[in-house]
Structure 1
Amino acid sequence: MAADSSVREPTIIKRKKVYKADGHHGGAWKVAYADFVTAMMAFFLLMWLLNATTEEQRKGIADYFSPTIPISRISGGGADGLNGSSIFAENTYAKMGTGANRKETVEHPAYGNGKSESESKSESMTDAAKQNDEQQIANELEDLKESLGEESRQLSEHLMIKMSPEGIVLEITDSESTPLFPLGRSEPSETMIQLIAAVSDSFGEFDNDIKIVGHTDSHRYRNGAVYDNWNLSADRANAARRLLMERGIPAGRIREVSGKADMDPLIKDDPMAAQNRRISITILTN
């Protein structure tokens, strides 16, 4: 029996379901991992810089990244670009106050005050010479005190050396046992005469000018007395001046003679102390 050609076999369609892997959540983890490694590298680089640099270098690095510091005080563009000046305008920069070279720029404080390099070096040399001069004077006075200590401990105890903005101050202080002046009077005692004689020999070793100031304690004269501690301190300073001149110190070296009464005590906690009665001789170094 012949097959019926009109009868067709059913068409079977197979659909395959494809399962696609997500590749370990895609590539996002690689980006996160790269960021983490970069951050760790930056962290270790920072730690290495902190360990390998000095405090001054770290401050410089911090200032560099500070947004408050201007990158440049002058224009680097063309002629008058963005209100700036030409890079060739040397004279214009100097007039602007910023300068166009190292000697005239405010970025270099050594020369930003209007002084040339030679003037700044000259000032540095002057400062060094002043310090050397002060050191020599201080050494001379220390030698004087030591020599007096060998001869008489009583005399060396009257001397005190200290520094001041004007120069080196030699304090000749009083004591209860060996006073420099009689009580309430300006006539020098034998101790004062001996001290001034020793001091004047040391003063002959240098040519600096001298300032003499007299001081008293806080003891007052009787009420109504015309003569007071101001007069007494000034008279004692003048007595010291006369003694120095008698020992050969030229009058031209004595720049100032004054009295401060009890306004500048050496021992502030005890205004009645004997050490407050003193003669201050300043070797001026300015």
Structure 2
Amino acid sequence: MEIQQAAIVQPIIIKRRRVVKADGHHGGAWKVAYADFVTAMMAFFLLMWLLNATTEEQRKGLADYFSPTIPISRISGGGSDGLNGSSIMTEETYAKDGTGASDRHPSSASFEGKSEIDAAKEKAISTELETLKQSLTEEGSKLSEHMLIKMSAEGIVLEITDSQDAPLFPVGQSVPSNLLSDMLALVADSFATFENDIKIVGHTDSLSYRNGAGYDNWNLSSDRANAARKLLLSSSLDPNRILEVSGKADTDPLMKDDPSAAQNRRISITILTR
């Protein structure tokens, strides 16, 4: 009887359930994607603000500064600060600083790339010459029409130009007119306010002497430069300040489109600052 009851006992079955837990909103990957989206939107709105707050010239300066295809010069496209500059210096486009396009913007000047002392001295000289020209204009004098101030690699250039109505020299001669004498007397007074050395260069137009003449534009431009030197010395300019007197004939015209223009007949006085 006991054997029969043992056979009736049922086996014990244990069931184990497998519980699968979710990843909790797919982890933190969405946060990274959202942060990227917010960063991109912030950059977009910053770009929109910059486009609205800057000029075309400033945007071009920024583009030139960060472009790897443009060689970096001593003056960067960004100018003196982040948004204040022209493109990389060229003779055609960098007229703002006076280093380029000097024939079209002769009065503009740049004092970047120099020490503070040199820049201050150069600016003072430029201001002195501009003041001289302005004073002549206010007095109603026609002398100011013959004066042109520009920058060069050597320093500040004072161009004293000819005109059809009031020539500096008689045609084909190196005898200075009263007009030139008066102008150089005023110039010598202005030169007394600083101590920089100078050089004098004479220029002519493209009109030449007849074939076979023993005297040509090279002789004429050199003689005119020397005549200007003598006028400056007669106005008490220190002769030791004059480092060079030369003539370039018609090889460096001021009016390149019209080689025979009267403005090409001129005396260039360079105040050396480099």
TM above 0.5, yes or no, is yes
How far has the Cα of 1:264 moved from its partner? Answer: 1.2
How far has the Cα of 1:166 moved from its partner? Answer: 1.4
Gaps of 5+ in 1: 53-125
1:36 maps to 2:30: yes
1:283 equivalent in structure 2 = 271
1:212 maps to 2:196: no
How far has the Cα of 1:281 moved from its partner? Answer: 0.5
Alignment of 1:193-232 (within 5 A): 193-232=181-220
Q: TM-score, normalising length from structure 2? A: 0.66
How far has the Cα of 1:29 moved from its partner? Answer: 5.6
Gaps of 5+ in 2: 47-113
Q: 1:259 to 1:28 in 2, by over 3 A?
A: same
1:237 equivalent in structure 2 = 225
Deviation digits for residues 169-228 of structure 1 (CA, Å, limit 9, x no counterpart): 111001111011111111111111111111111111222111101111111221222211
How far has the Cα of 1:154 moved from its partner? Answer: 1.5
CA distance in structure 2 between the aligned counterparts of 1:166 and 1:4, rounded to whole angstroms: 128
Deviation digits for residues 156-177 of structure 1 (CA, Å, limit 9, x no counterpart): 1000111222111111001111
Deviation digits for residues 92-141 of structure 1 (CA, Å, limit 9, x no counterpart): xxxxxxxxxxxxxxxxxxxxxxxxxxxxxxxxxx8211111112111211
1:135 maps to 2:135: no
CA distance in structure 2 between the aligned counterparts of 1:153 and 1:238, rounded to whole angstroms: 26
2:168 equivalent in structure 1 = 180
Which letter maps to 1:236? Answer: R
- Secondary structure of the 2:253 match is coil
- Secondary structure of the 1:139 match is helix
CA distance in structure 1 between the aligned counterparts of 2:3 and 2:12, rounded to whole angstroms: 25
CA distance in structure 1 between the aligned counterparts of 2:141 and 2:3, rounded to whole angstroms: 149
CA distance in structure 1 between the aligned counterparts of 2:215 and 2:124, rounded to whole angstroms: 40
CA distance in structure 2 between the aligned counterparts of 1:266 and 1:4, rounded to whole angstroms: 135
CA distance in structure 1 between the aligned counterparts of 2:135 and 2:5, rounded to whole angstroms: 144
1:56 equivalent in structure 2 = none
Q: 1:158 to 1:12 in 2, by over 3 A?
A: same
How far has the Cα of 1:146 moved from its partner? Answer: 1.7
CA RMSD, Structure 1 to Structure 2 (Å) = 3.2
Which letter maps to 1:155? Answer: L
- Secondary structure of the 2:115 match is helix
1:190 equivalent in structure 2 = 178
CA distance in structure 1 between the aligned counterparts of 2:207 and 2:2, rounded to whole angstroms: 151
How far has the Cα of 1:40 moved from its partner? Answer: 3.9
Out of 166, 174, 196, which is 2:154 matched to?
A: 166
Out of 233, 256, 259, which is 1:268 matched to?
A: 256
CA distance in structure 1 between the aligned counterparts of 2:2 and 2:219, rounded to whole angstroms: 155
CA distance in structure 1 between the aligned counterparts of 2:243 and 2:176, rounded to whole angstroms: 21
CA distance in structure 2 between the aligned counterparts of 1:8 and 1:187, rounded to whole angstroms: 149
- Secondary structure of the 1:157 match is helix
CA distance in structure 2 between the aligned counterparts of 1:171 and 1:200, rounded to whole angstroms: 14
How far has the Cα of 1:253 moved from its partner? Answer: 0.9
- Secondary structure of the 1:225 match is coil
Q: 1:7 to 1:268 in 2, by over 3 A?
A: closer
1:250 equivalent in structure 2 = 238
- Secondary structure of the 1:239 match is helix
CA distance in structure 2 between the aligned counterparts of 1:148 and 1:166, rounded to whole angstroms: 26
Q: 1:278 to 1:38 in 2, by over 3 A?
A: same
- Secondary structure of the 1:279 match is strand
Q: 1:6 to 1:166 in 2, by over 3 A?
A: closer
1:144 equivalent in structure 2 = 132
Which letter maps to 1:158? Answer: H
- Secondary structure of the 1:257 match is strand
